[in-house]
Amino acid sequence: MKIEMFQTLEAVLRGGSLAAAASEMNLTASAVSMQMKQIEAYLGQPLFDRSGHAIRPTAVAHEVAASMRDGLEHLQSLRRRTAVEVGGIVRLGIIESMLPSLLPGTVTELRARFPRLDLRPMRGRSIGLTDAVKSGDLDAAVVAEPEGGGSARMNWRPLLRSEMRLIVPPDAAETSVPALFKQYDWIRYDRHTTSGMLAARYVSGQVRTRHGALELDSIPAIVAMVSAGLGIALVHLVDAGLCQSYPVRFVRVGRGAPAIQLSLATRKADADSRPLRAVGDAMTSVLANTLRLRNLAGR
């Protein structure tokens, strides 16, 4: 017995005929007639007097409709409410390089649109955060998607593809990438991260002569070191706001530049989760605005 049958019964009583109900419910007259007969078979009593040219509802039909009316209206109100209200706790992992550019705007937007949604962020590396989502310790994570695609056990919502760029001291006169690596120390990002591995592969394959390398696991620290003239670095910076405090010059690597695919990783079982969809939508909006501002600034 489907709930929609009782909605059809209400339509028959309102319209006075099977044809009117069929038009209102976007059904055929025969489908309406079949639904009414199924309710009658369930009740063991007729809903209509069919002795004349037009059907006439019995007292039982009105009684059934009245008994179901409040319940149907309440169910409809619940459907409308869940369509707009999103709540609960979302445990979200974010890689360190995306925290300043993504987290403040995402939290601001979610608080404004979904005040019942409690976002609980945690910092980490892509591999560890992805494993935490797989094990259920996190609900979702913003990570650098592995080359060749992520695990088929997960859903990967693309957020941004970010080309890595070379940052050099603000007073560096050189524009040639090989010459810059020859002149300055290479400050590399943690080689155990996806971006660190990509940068190392590019430098090893493209730059034959280079100074010694320092290794740090903090993008802000790397930018500060480069700004102080202590080296150069190949990094991905979505939001260049950090460079206002620590000025650097950007040098495009050009052809063959490594790129990071940033994605929101979730479990396949959570594909229809409204809270996770709300988080992903907020992130997409924030990143679009960040890129627009970066393009206006010419960086």
CATH of 88-161+260-297, one of 3.40.50.620, 3.40.190.10, 3.30.360.10, 3.40.630.30: 3.40.190.10
Q: What is the pLDDT of residue 211?
A: 67
Residue ranges in the chain whose pLDDT is less than 70: 1, 76-84, 209-212, 238-240, 291, 293-299
For the chain, residues classed under CATH 3.40.190.10 are 88-161+260-297, 165-257
Superfamily of domain 165-257: Periplasmic binding protein-like II (3.40.190.10)
Q: Among 199, 198, 175, 177, which Cα is nearest to 187's?
A: 199
CATH of 3-84, one of 1.10.10.10, 1.20.210.10, 2.30.110.10, 3.40.50.2000: 1.10.10.10
Q: What is the pLDDT of residue 83?
A: 46
Decide the pairing of beta strands 165-168 and 233-235: antiparallel
Q: Could you tell me the maximum CA-CA distance found in the chain, to the nearest angstrom? A: 101
Q: What is the pLDDT of residue 164?
A: 87
Decide the pairing of beta strands 56-57 and 48-49: antiparallel
Work out the angle at residue 111's Cα, subtended by the Cα atoms of residues 110 and 114, and round it to the nearest 5 degrees: 65
Q: What is the pLDDT of residue 40?
A: 92
Provide φ and ψ at 218, rounded to 5°: -135, 120
Work out the angle at residue 12's Cα, subtended by the Cα atoms of residues 8 and 13, and round it to the nearest 5 degrees: 120
Specify the pTM: 0.63
Which string of b and e fits 25-60 if b means at least 16 CB within 10 Å? bebeeeebbebbeebbeeeeeebbeeeeeebebeee
Q: What is the pLDDT of residue 97?
A: 81
Which string of b and e fits 227-255 if b means at least 16 CB within 10 Å? beeebbbbbbbbbbebbeebebbebebee
